[in-house]
Structure 1
Amino acid sequence: MSNQTALIIVDIQNDYFTDGLWPLYEPVKALENVKLLLKKFRDNNETIIHVQHLANEGAPFFVKGTKGSDIHNDVKPLDNESVVVKQYANSFYQTNLLELLKSKNIKNIVVTGMMTQNCIDSTVRGASEVGFQYPNITIIGDTTATRDLPVPGGTTISAPLVQQSFLAALNFAFGKVISTADYLK
């Protein structure tokens, strides 16, 4: 890790947990791993950026001003940590994330958060479109979470299979997918 590395925590918000409007599969496992990374980055005084999705009234979840849209208390930003607010899956799209990373001379990003097949996938691909490339993108696989996905025709793809498939695709062409334990070695 270096001072040119930023931890990006995407959408770890209350609606993704058990009492939320859009609960994911095993979000607490992902949260516990994010907490380990967050502690390490805080202890090393490294850049931490929280991304918060805020939706307009009528959206199924993350509606601005609701408890569900709040960042989970276990990873609440400290006063010296940046919060980027977004309205789209890609954390770079119509936000100040890229400018923030450039202003801090960040060359490497470590991506964590939720949902794997949506905002994590879009953010990692978005990072590659704005100039971050393998090996400068690391995705910590066990800090991400997803949910079962219905398929037209009445079948469902299980959350673990969705998780594996999207992480494999990101690892193939966009960044290095590793575990929390391996990153912290």
Structure 2
Amino acid sequence: MQSYKQSALVLIDMQRCMSQASSWPRNNPEAEDNMARLLTAWRANNQTVIHVRHLSSDPASGFRPGQSGAEFQARFYPLPHEHVADKHVTDAFSGSGLEAYLRSQSIRELVVAGVSTNYSVEATVRSAGCLGFITTVVSDACFTFARLDLNKKICSAEKIHLMSLSNLDGEYAQVLSTDAVLKS
């Protein structure tokens, strides 16, 4: 098992609109508490924290700049010395300068948490793996929402979450719990 002393914690899309009620059920109701535990540990050890923020150009999006939904949730607000990577698509590496920042800081290991597991988390972790970063996804510090599949049947948030983590585990990243990461 790897040591997380030199890893950057990457928190994805922990913005206000993600904490607002959704018409679709979500999984992992404890995810934000686990993210907060990780953030507290990284800060206490003066480790690198990266906040990924989605900024949409879609006028109907809750992530559109200038509205409260695009702002960070209070408990995930970046400290002045913490890096913020702004993205405009699901992948945090695409057009954000994140890779250049990580390489300039000689960071090779990432611990990823955030939302949504099957969108921004999965896309970002796939890119991280392809770019050669050693990546861990914290399974209980991510969540997603139920949605319709191609047959127009509801697929539960938990099933989607588990499939996304299964897609990543062993190929692009290792998947561990918050407790496992914090014990390392």
Residues 8-157 of structure 1 correspond to what in structure 2 (within 5 A)? 8-19=10-21, 25-26=26-27, 28-132=29-133, 136-157=134-155
**1:87-117 deviation per Cα after TM superposition (whole angstroms, max 9, x unaligned):** 0111000111011111111011001110000
Three-state SS of the structure 1 residue aligned to 2:86 is strand
Q: Unmatched 5+ residue regions in structure 1?
A: none
- Cα 1:36–1:24 shift into 2, 3 Å: farther
**1:45-98 deviation per Cα after TM superposition (whole angstroms, max 9, x unaligned):** 000000000001424331111111111111110011010100011100011101
Count of residue pairs the alignment pairs up: 181
Aligned to 1:178: 176
Asked whether the equivalents of residues 41 and 48 of structure 1 are also in contact (C-alpha less than 8 Å), the reply is yes
Q: 1:12, 1:28 → 2: CA distance?
A: 14
Asked whether the equivalents of residues 35 and 74 of structure 1 are also in contact (C-alpha less than 8 Å), the reply is yes
Q: 2:18, 2:149 → 1: CA distance?
A: 21
Backbone CA RMSD of aligned residues: 1.7
1:172 deviates by 3.3
- Cα 1:8–1:23 shift into 2, 3 Å: farther
TM-score (norm 1): 0.91
Q: 1:180, 1:95 → 2: CA distance?
A: 27
- Cα 1:7–1:24 shift into 2, 3 Å: farther
Three-state SS of the structure 2 residue aligned to 1:124 is helix
Three-state SS of the structure 2 residue aligned to 1:12 is coil
Q: 1:152, 1:9 → 2: CA distance?
A: 30
Which amino acid is the alignment partner of residue 81 of structure 2?
N
Q: Structure 1 residues 26-35 or 150-159, which shifts more?
A: 26-35
TM-score (norm 2): 0.92
Asked whether the equivalents of residues 17 and 24 of structure 1 are also in contact (C-alpha less than 8 Å), the reply is no
Three-state SS of the structure 2 residue aligned to 1:173 is coil
Three-state SS of the structure 1 residue aligned to 2:169 is helix
Percent of aligned positions with the same letter in both sequences?
30
